[in-house]
């Protein structure tokens, strides 16, 4: 097969791919609040810098529509993560404006909904939607406790139905979710954050930069201390040699 034929084959649409020209993939709807927008970024930005166990490929996105079938409307989770898939092209014939199950070959592995002032059926209609779409893990983060006494409620799919779980460790994905009291982008509150399975927080890009800066400063200080110690040692050796020379000039053996 010639190179041009191979390229044409690779760029051709998948056989049987449905017509999606009628689908509404972007409606311009805003997020609920600055808090929700920051929380979504806190759940996606650290994954951009994260190396998944065994080098697994994944997509992490916020406010991107999911289409299990070529019908409107899309289901739009606040955040989702899908493993063992290649990120879609940003341009060209293979560009995807939404997450089409038939193109990417599977549903996402983890979906997260953030409850804000406007309730969105997180424990009713959305739960049933994600269950029907066979989303393996579904997490509801309710920082204002508008749905009940729990801030975090998690479900996993078993025999086609969601079963509530008592933890937020996703062993197959190498991730866990924890509540974190801290400051992110100038806002201090109780956030939902990713950790690895050992409990280490996945750093944000800014935290990674700050950590790299501190490590560089520490390495520089250690290099300066080593240089100063070497200079002191050289100075001491020079003084010792000068003293020995003076003693020899006086007829005294400094080694005696």
Instruction: Please check whether residue 174 is in contact with residue 196, taking contact to mean a CB–CB distance below 8 angstroms.
Output: yes
Q: Model's pTM, two decimal places?
A: 0.75
N-term to C-term CA, the chain: 88
Write the CB contacts of 168 (distance below 8 Å, at least 6 apart in sequence).
Answer: 139, 152, 154, 176, 177, 178
Q: Which residue matches tokens 């100038």? A: 186
Q: Which of 112, 110, 104 is nearest to 87 (CA)?
A: 104
- Give whole-number Cα distances, 98 to 56, 88, 199, 210, in Å: 21, 9, 32, 34
Which run of H or E residues covers position 255?
Answer: none
| Local confidence pLDDT in tens for the 256 residues of the chain | 454 544 444 454 444 566 555 544 454 555 568 889 999 999 999 998 899 998 899 999 999 999 999 888 889 999 999 999 987 776 666 667 889 999 999 999 999 999 987 778 999 999 999 999 999 999 999 998 989 889 999 999 999 999 999 999 999 999 999 999 999 999 999 999 999 999 999 999 998 888 767 776 676 677 677 666 677 767 777 887 877 788 688 777 777 6
Q: Nearest-5° angle of CA 135, CA 137, CA 143?
A: 120
Instruction: Please check whether residue 51 is in contact with residue 202, taking contact to mean a CB–CB distance below 8 angstroms.
Output: no
Tell me the C-alpha distance between 158 and 162, whole Å.
6
Residue 171, phi then psi, degrees to nearest 5? -60, -40
Tell me the C-alpha distance between 47 and 62, whole Å.
12
Q: Which residue matches tokens 């729990």? A: 150
Q: Which residue matches tokens 């086609």? A: 160
Tell me the C-alpha distance between 192 and 241, whole Å.
65
């Amino acid at each position: 097969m010639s190179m041009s034929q191979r390229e044409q084959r690779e760029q051709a649409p998948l056989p049987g791919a449905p017509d999606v020209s009628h689908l509404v993939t972007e409606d311009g709807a805003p997020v609920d609040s600055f808090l929700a927008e920051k929380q979504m970024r806190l759940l996606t930005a650290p994954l951009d810098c994260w190396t998944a166990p065994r080098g697994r490929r994944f997509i992490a996105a916020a406010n991107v529509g999911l289409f299990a079938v070529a019908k409107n409307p899309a289901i739009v989770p606040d955040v989702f993560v899908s493993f063992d898939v290649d990120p879609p092209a940003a341009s060209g014939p293979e560009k995807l404006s939404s997450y089409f199950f038939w193109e990417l070959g599977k549903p996402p592995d983890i979906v997260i909904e953030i409850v804000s002032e406007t309730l969105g059926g997180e424990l009713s209609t959305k739960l049933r939607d994600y269950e029907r779409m066979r989303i393996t893990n579904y997490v509801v983060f309710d920082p204002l406790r508008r749905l009940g006494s729990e801030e975090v409620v998690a479900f996993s799919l078993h025999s086609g139905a969601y079963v509530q779980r008592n933890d937020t460790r996703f062993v197959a994905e190498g991730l866990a979710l924890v509540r974190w009291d801290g400051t992110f982008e100038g806002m201090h509150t109780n956030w939902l954050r990713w950790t690895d399975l050992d409990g280490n927080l996945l750093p944000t890009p800014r935290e990674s930069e700050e950590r790299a800066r501190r490590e560089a400063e520490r390495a520089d200080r250690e290099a300066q201390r080593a240089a100063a110690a070497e200079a002191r040692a050289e100075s001491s050796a020079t003084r010792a040699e000068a003293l020995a020379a003076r003693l020899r000039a006086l007829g005294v053996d400094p080694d005696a």
